[in-house]
Amino acid sequence: MKIKVLVVDDSAFMRKVISDMISSDPLMEVVGTARNGEDALNLIVSTNPDVVTMDIEMPKMDGLSALKQIMEVRPIPVIMLSSLTTKGATETLKALDYGAFDFITKPSSLVKVSGPEVKEELLSKIRIASRAKVSKPVIQRQVRPQPATSSTVRTTGNLPQGKTKFKKIIAIGTSTGGPRALQDVIPFIPGNIDAGILIVQHMPPGFTKSLAERLDSMSQIHVKEAEDGDIMHAGVAYLAPGDSHIKLTKQAGQYVIKLDDGERVSGHKPSVDAMMYSVAALNDSNVIGVIMTGMGADGADGLQKVKSNRGYVIAQDEESCVVFGMPKSTIKLGVVDKVVSLNNIANEIVKAMEV
């Protein structure tokens, strides 16, 4: 059976371009198009789509308002179309919070709109979305920030002051479903944890800074978008920018972050594998590797190297993943020490600090 897709966009041109892309795949069909969220809600009832592509900025009823109602009444996979602006990034993160499956960015020029890269990304995400589990999003657990301790001092700026020598390095990799999943992990890591933290979330440039700021605002630890040359501090999480690999080196007894603008690794930049390769290459036995929801296999090979250097590996379980691909690929390699649900990952990280 074909994957039935509803296309929602206020631009007739974009509706035509997106519909043509989808119709080019013999296993997909466009069952309807809508110019705003209100029309979309009516068409969902009459066409019963498997996946919806939804523009964010529309008149009458915008994409966020429509998404909220869809997830409340009839949860189905929704892929948002986002603009490459600060406002677009903020609204996209809200959409992911509200239950959107994933998003793609609108190209900046008409030439790129119907290009092969955009088409392949769209079709790939529709295929995965049509098979994904979608449910009404749960309200995020409330977090009570802990007071800063002498070992970790939180600051409001980008220059956290804390220990540069610590017990563990925590490396976390995630993709589809990750922005929302990270909100069930990072805020529950204690502020005084004796570890530096690296995070790779597959995202395009311009979105990771907003994600870091969002996580920082709700967490006990400090979260920032990584910058080349950052010295790693305990109680600080460094999120890879959307256009660079994040790697870790050791200089004069301190861990220093290097951003690499090289080729994609395992199909991604930033890549979870690239991050895991770098922490494994340090030959320290103090790495806790965490692999979370996401399509594909990025991170599996890198975590195999982490495990071979006596690291500890945690994987998110299938039930709590939006897409089980990345954890499944890692589990298949036999390198995972513990498979746990999303809500238990932070607790498992704390336990692993004593391993």
Cβ-based neighbour number of residue 219 at 10 Å: 22
SS3 230: coil
- Phi/psi at 328 (5° precision): -60, -45
**Closest to 333 (Cα-Cα) out of 305, 355, 310:** 305
Residues identified as active-site: 175, 202, 298
In sequence order, what are the residues at sequence separation of 6 or more whose Cβ sits closer than 8 angstroms to the Cβ of residue 116?
none
In sequence order, what are the residues at sequence separation of 6 or more whose Cβ sits closer than 8 angstroms to the Cβ of residue 318?
324, 327, 328
Rounded to 10°, the helix 116-131/12-23 angle is 70
Cβ-based neighbour number of residue 73 at 10 Å: 11
Residue 308, burial from CB neighbour count under 10 angstroms (0-12, 13-18, 19+): exposed
Which residue is it, tokens 């997909």? 28
**135-171: b (≥16 Cβ within 10 Å) or e:** eebeeeeeeeeeebeeebbbeeeeebebbeebebbbb
Residue 13, burial from CB neighbour count under 10 angstroms (0-12, 13-18, 19+): exposed
Q: Where are the beta strands (DSSP E) in the chain?
A: 3-8, 28-34, 51-55, 78-82, 102-105, 152-153, 161-162, 168-174, 195-201, 222-225, 236-239, 245-251, 254-260, 287-291, 312-316, 338-340
What is d(CA 28, CA 26) in angstroms, rounded to the nearest whole number?
6
What is d(CA 134, CA 75) in angstroms, rounded to the nearest whole number?
6
The secondary element (H helix, E strand) that includes residue 326 is helix 325-332
Q: What angle do CA 318, 324, 326 make, to 5 degrees?
A: 130
